[in-house]
Structure 1
C-alpha cells in the first residue's frame, strides 16, 4: 500500500478558538502566523479543496489563510471503483469534482464500507487533503450515504458560516445561527459563538453525549462504554442510538476504531 489509512481528527477540537469555530494556523494582521489546533473538523466545498493553498510541499493545506486538518464535504458520486487496497470515487458538489480514496486496512476491511453508496447519489466524506503524483485528492476516513437532502443544504450553509467567521472574526461574535435551521432539521443548527447552551438544540440524550465527548482531551476519542457511564445511561443501546444519530448529523465521528468517537464541533 503506497499510503497508510489515517484516522481523521485524532486530536479533537473545540467549538470556538480565537473567534473561529475551526482551528488551524491563521495569519495575524502583522503577517506572523499564530499556530492553533488544526485537528478540528472543517466543513468545506469541493472548490475550497481544489483552491486550498499549500505554502511548501508536505506542509498543511490552508483555506482562508488558515491551516486545515480533517475536512468534511458533501457531493454526488460520479465514478466509483475498487482495488485490493482502496475504494476510489469521483465526487462533485456543483462547485467542482475531486477524487476520493478510502484505504483498506486488510482484505476483509471492505465489509459494509460501500453499503448505500451509489452512482449519482449524495454522500458525506470526512478525510484530509492529499497530493499524490502531482494530483490532489481526499484520503477518506468515512464515506457514507446521505439519506436526508436537508443535510446537503445545511452543509453548504455551515461551510459558508465558517469561512465568513474566519475572514471576519468580529462579525462572528454573538452572531446568529445560519439561515435555514429549523426544529425538524437540526443537524447543522450551529449555536451562536457568543455563548449560551451550545447543545441546547439537541434531544436530552444527544445533549448529554455531546457534553461528555466534547470534554475529552485524550486525542484518540472516547469509548462508547465510557460515554454511557458518564452519561448515567441505564442502557448502552440508547447511547449507541444517540451516537449514531449525532454521527449522521456530522457532530461526532469515529477515531481509532468504530467504538471510539470524538466531537466534530
Structure 2
C-alpha cells in the first residue's frame, strides 16, 4: 500500500473492533439544526471501521462503545473512489471492515490546495479521515470533514493504538482514575482526569507547553474566518510568549497528525477540528 512514497502491508484483523465546513450543497435550515453540544462532549474518537459498523442507534444517535462522539477519526486503505461534481465517495477498508465515506465539495470556496489534496487520494493509498458517523437506509457511513493522504506507516500503527486505548477505556472503564493492565504479572497505569475516552480529552493527545499554546490559539480564533488561522498570525501572536517558529511548526504537525486541526486553503492555514 502507498503512503506518500512508503510501501506497507499490515494485517489489522486482530484489532477490536458538519461543524467546521459546509457538508452538503443543500444544508438544513437554521430552524432544523440540532443544539450545539457542550464543550465537554465535543471530542474526537479514533476508531476502527468495525466499531463504526457496529455503532448502536439510540434516539437518532450512533453510539460507539456507548459514546456519542462529536467526530470520529479513521485511518484506512482506499479500495475505490468515485468522483462527482458535488462530492467524492470512497470505499475504505482497514482490516476490520468496509465503509463508505462521502466528502462534499464546495466549488465556490475550495482552493487549489483542497483540490490538489483530493487528487492525491487514489485507490490503494492509505488516508486519514475526520468526520461524522451517519446512517441512511439502515447503512452506516461517514460524512468526511477532512481527508488527507497518510505519509508514513507509523501513523497507521499510532491510530490503531489510539483506537484500542479508547475502546478499552470505554468498555472496561477506569480504576481509581487510571487505566491499568497486567502483563506477565507487571501492572502499569496511565492516569488522567476526564471521563470521556475521546482523543481530545486524553492527556497524550494535546501534550503541554508549546503544543497546548498552539492548540488553544487555533481553537480560539479559527472560527472567526471561513479559511481559518494563518501560520504567520500564530507565529506573530505566540512569538511574544517566547514560542519559536520551529516549535510552532512542530506543534502544528503533531496536532494535524492527531486529527485535532486540519489545513484549509493551503498548507499554512488551519482550522480546529472539534
Q: Give the TM interval when normalised to the shorter protein.
A: 0.5 to 0.7
The answer on 1:82 being equivalent to 2:79 is no
CA distance 1:252–1:9, shift in 2 (3 Å): farther
Whether the 8 Å contact between 2:44 and 2:71 is mirrored in structure 1 is: yes
Q: How far apart, CA to CA, are the structure 1 residues paired with 2:208 and 2:58? A: 43
TM-score by length of 1: 0.66
Q: What CA deviation, in whole Å up to 9, does each residue of 1:15-60 have, x standing for no partner?
A: xxxxxxxxxx9xxxxxxxxx8843211101000110101113xx22
Say which SS state the counterpart of residue 112 (structure 1) adopts: helix
Say which SS state the counterpart of residue 90 (structure 1) adopts: strand
Q: What CA deviation, in whole Å up to 9, does each residue of 1:210-264 have, x standing for no partner?
A: 3x348x4679387345533442269996477335412442253239977343276
Trace 1:116-265 onto structure 2 (pairs within 5 A). 116-171=120-175, 173-175=177-179, 192-193=191-192, 198=203, 205-206=210-211, 208-210=213-215, 212-213=216-217, 216=219, 220=223, 223-224=229-230, 227-232=234-239, 238=246, 241-242=249-250, 244-254=252-262, 259-262=269-272
Q: What CA deviation, in whole Å up to 9, does each residue of 1:71-114 have, x standing for no partner?
A: 00111000001111001100000000000110011267362232
Give the unaligned 5+ runs of structure 2: 1-17, 23-36, 184-189, 195-201
Residue matched to 2:199: none
Whether the 8 Å contact between 1:253 and 1:261 is mirrored in structure 2 is: yes
- Of 248-257 and 82-91, more deviation after overlay is shown by 248-257
TM-score by length of 2: 0.64
Q: How far apart, CA to CA, are the structure 2 residues paired with 1:201 and 1:37? A: 15
The answer on 1:7 being equivalent to 2:19 is yes
Whether the 8 Å contact between 1:165 and 1:172 is mirrored in structure 2 is: no
Q: How far apart, CA to CA, are the structure 1 residues paired with 2:264 and 2:149? A: 21
Q: What CA deviation, in whole Å up to 9, does each residue of 1:128-166 have, x standing for no partner?
A: 011234432111011111111011111111111112212
Give the unaligned 5+ runs of structure 1: 1-5, 11-24, 26-34, 180-190
Residue matched to 1:100: 101
Higher strand share: 2
Matched pairs, number: 219
Whether the 8 Å contact between 1:100 and 1:139 is mirrored in structure 2 is: yes
Residue matched to 1:30: none
CA distance 1:230–1:128, shift in 2 (3 Å): same
CA distance 1:231–1:175, shift in 2 (3 Å): farther
Q: How far apart, CA to CA, are the structure 1 residues paired with 2:75 and 2:212? A: 25
Q: How far apart, CA to CA, are the structure 1 residues paired with 2:271 and 2:193? A: 26
